[in-house]
Amino acid sequence: MGYGIDDIRIEALLPALGRAEDRLARLDERVARSPIGEGFRERNHFYDAAASMWIAGELVHIEDLVLHDASMDVRTPTHELTQAHAILRSRRRLWRETASWGIGAAGMATLRGRTALPEADVADDEDPTDELDDDAIAVRDALQAEYAELDAALASAERLLQGNDDTAARSAQSDPRLLIYDPDWDEDARLSEWRDLMSQVERHPPALAAAILWEAWETAEPLQRQHWLGNVLVGAYLRSRGKVTSHLFGLAAGLKTIPRERRRARTRAERIAACLDAMAAAADADLETLNRLHLARGQIEHRLRGRRSSSSLPAVVDLLFSRPIVSAGMIAEAVKVTPRGALSLIGELGVREMTGRGRYRAWGVL
């Protein structure tokens, strides 16, 4: 990588750095003190996963991701949706582990799929006895990703055969992975250099250090696949430095607001400044979301007054604020009622319907 940080002019970055540090600190304190912090954390996983795919040039709808995560797909999952779900699961895993786990060698190896997950990858609010169901989801996602890669390899091999490139065709037939992976791409060495950079930026403020690490990841591209992991690891790094400890910060949502010309600027200083601005933008957006959710929670809780202690409505409210959208099937499964009973519960809360379709109905709190 050969990434030197001594030539970075900190003075030119001070305005953007000040904004990022201030917004991150404010957001962290608000989420830590908020009564809906748990729901915000889970929602943030979904939005950041979709934003990561958007930055990569792929569109994944939030509702499809939510339903796929609940194993209630309304259509066959695409490769992009499967990848977005992998981002979602990686973020959940990072949040469950210790602050420094994700940026360590063992954590990175696990996130890259080099080692088996020692425990079931379930959401924080899920029953740990449902390990078999979640393992089935993980196996399904892995198989779908492998099938998509195999289809691409077969298509490339067919094109090579039609072009009469005998040498390339024989190589492709002997090892189809050569059509997807560059054999000269030393991922382990690149990741090792990127992790060495973390020790060099320790003397810088957390936001600046995270921006430098993001820029280095974008420049070096350590992984041929899973390039999205860099954005997730930046959030893990901010948590390890104690800057954002209330949740796993979602950088991708902020990067969406930054023009590509700035994210891919010619100079390193411009790219780092763009990342700092993305942090501030993401923090501002998250604060607005937190305010809206807090207001909506207060309005909905008025409807819970006078209810029996055995009422299922509080559990439905918790589900509403932990997912961008919910369907009748999700409510029925969460509170153990029939789909008809789920419709009655959601009707009592007066939540806005998101789809407006009779065959597939979903509700959510914006």
What structural domains does the chain harbor?
10-286 (no CATH), 306-363 (1.10.10)
Beta strands 326-327 and 362-363, pairing class: antiparallel
Give the pLDDT score at 245: 95
* Secondary structure string (H, E, C) spanning 323-336: CCCEEHHHHHHHHC
Residue 341 near residue 58 (C-beta atoms within 8 A): no
* Secondary structure string (H, E, C) spanning 294-311: HHHHHHHHHHHCCCCCCC
Task: Report CA-CA distances (Å) from 1 to 37, 156, 215, 223, 334.
Answer: 39, 31, 12, 13, 48
- Count the helix, strand and coil residues of the chain and give each as a percent rounded to the nearest 5: 65, 0, 35
Series of mean pLDDT values for 10-residue runs along the chain (366 residues): 68 92 96 92 95 94 91 87 94 94 90 59 42 54 62 63 53 52 76 90 93 93 88 95 95 94 91 96 95 89 76 87 89 88 86 70 82
- DSSP 8-state secondary structure symbol assigned to residue 180: T
Reported pTM: 0.79
> Among residues 99, 103, 169, 96, which one has the least CA distance to residue 134?
96
Residue 172 near residue 179 (C-beta atoms within 8 A): yes
Mind listing the pLDDT tens digit for each residue in 144-187?
A: 666 666 666 666 666 655 654 555 445 445 555 555 566 677 88
- DSSP 8-state secondary structure symbol assigned to residue 213: H
User: What is the average pLDDT value for the chain, to the nearest integer?
Assistant: 83
Mind listing the pLDDT tens digit for each residue in 36-67?
A: 999 999 999 999 999 999 999 999 999 899 99
Is residue 336 packed enough to be buried (19+ CB in 10 Å), middle (13-18) or exposed (0-12)?
A: exposed
Give the pLDDT score at 28: 96
